[in-house]
Amino acid sequence: MAQSYSARSRAIEPFHVMALLARANQLQAEGHDVIHLEIGEPDFTTAAPIVAAGQAALAAGHTRYTPARGIVQLREAISGFYAQRYGLDIDPQRILITPGGSGALLLTSSLLVDPGKYWLLADPGYPCNRHFLRLIEGAAQLVPVGPEVRYQLTPELVARHWDSSSVGALVASPANPTGTILQRDELAGLSQAVKQRGGHLVVDEIYHGLTYGVDASSVLEVDDQAFVLNSFSKYFGMTGWRLGWMVAPEAAVPELEKLAQNLYISAPSMAQHAALACFEPATIDILEQRREQFAKRRDFLLPALRELGFKIAVEPEGAFYLYADISAFGGDAFAFCEHFLDSEHVAFTPGLDFGRHQATQHVRFAYTQSLPRLQEAVERIARGLKSWSGHAV
């Protein structure tokens, strides 16, 4: 007898890159040297002071549940971080510690979106955003965006696409997969456009800290009532620790706390204690050195790919991705990725994972490998272009 699973489960799409990752892992198991440019995870291990703090937390017995909002010490440390980095006075009571940035997204979407309602999202964008909305019986209104708006929503696009079912907009700065940033005045314009329509603005600031030549403004500098999602995964390099946070308007905190109590009880206690070391000067020094490495990688890979014929219309200012148009080469993005994985053992991500708008003619490269590995990847890609059967005539 066939299994009957929920419609919401069937509607949530898998990561297309996972099929490529499985193939990449198979090739590695067969002894091939695969260069991984597909997964959005820093190649650096968690900084030593954070690891030491985690080990000390385990030794001290910090293995029990914490309050649903997270330990006070960490919420106070994050508040201090906002004061130091952005000049903002954020009450620690407004900060909730979550299991990764995903936990923050789960809380926010559960709080703000009723069945049949939706947020406006940029297309291309991070796929889990729309999948979380589907999980709670809401929806994503995907707004096609291109280089002319730096792949970001604008007040004009909000006005054009907003309707009676809209309850908010979710934007990301820096964005995945494009690495573009919303400037302070752009955030203010989006805030005004959404507020005028009675909606909520949610901003994914997960890649804050990983910017190059420019600092990213927090939406909280222009809108104290916005919802902010953040994570210890990217800048702080704690992907496997599963720890994030959110900043919410004061009035929303009791409802969010109730949801947290029911949905996951609390974020991992040992990870919370480890994260206290994130804000120590010695740790920040390590993280800033890593940011410099990411900048060097971007500054190598961006012109190198352009020279090979990839169209990258907007220079990314943050995160660690390049979103490249492959239309000059012809063919489909997924087949393009398969070709380079099988022939040259270089893995990168097809645009299908990030939405629908021109998805079959785009791929994403993650510069999460060392500079020598990126140089080797470019040499292999150059060789693989010569054997790509889908090339334009």
Domains of the chain: residue spans and CATH: 7-45+283-387 (3.90.1150.10), 48-280 (3.40.640.10)
pLDDT at 392 over 50: no
pLDDT at 315 over 60: yes
Rg over CA atoms, the chain? 21
Give SS3 for 310: coil
* pLDDT at residue number 391: 53
* pLDDT at residue number 1: 44
* pLDDT at residue number 14: 82
* pLDDT at residue number 67: 98
pLDDT at 112 over 80: yes
Q: What is the mean pLDDT of residues 24-48?
A: 93
pLDDT (tens digit, 9 = 90+) per residue, 193-206? 999 999 999 999 99
pLDDT (tens digit, 9 = 90+) per residue, 172-188? 999 999 999 999 999 99
Question: Cβ–Cβ contacts within 10 Å for residue 310, how many?
Answer: 23
For residue 93, which of 69, 68, 65, 67 has the smallest C-alpha distance?
69
For residue 319, which of 347, 294, 283 has the smallest C-alpha distance?
294
* pLDDT at residue number 12: 87
pTM metric for this prediction: 0.95
Which spans in the chain are helix H?
7-11, 16-29, 48-59, 72-86, 100-112, 127-135, 155-161, 184-196, 253-263, 269-275, 281-308, 333-344, 371-387
Question: Cβ–Cβ contacts within 10 Å for residue 380, how many?
Answer: 17
The torsion angle over the Cα atoms of residues 241, 23, 311 and 288, rounded to 10 degrees, is 20
Both structure tokens of 183 = 């400037």
pLDDT over 70 for what percent of the chain?
A: 98
pLDDT at 76 over 90: yes
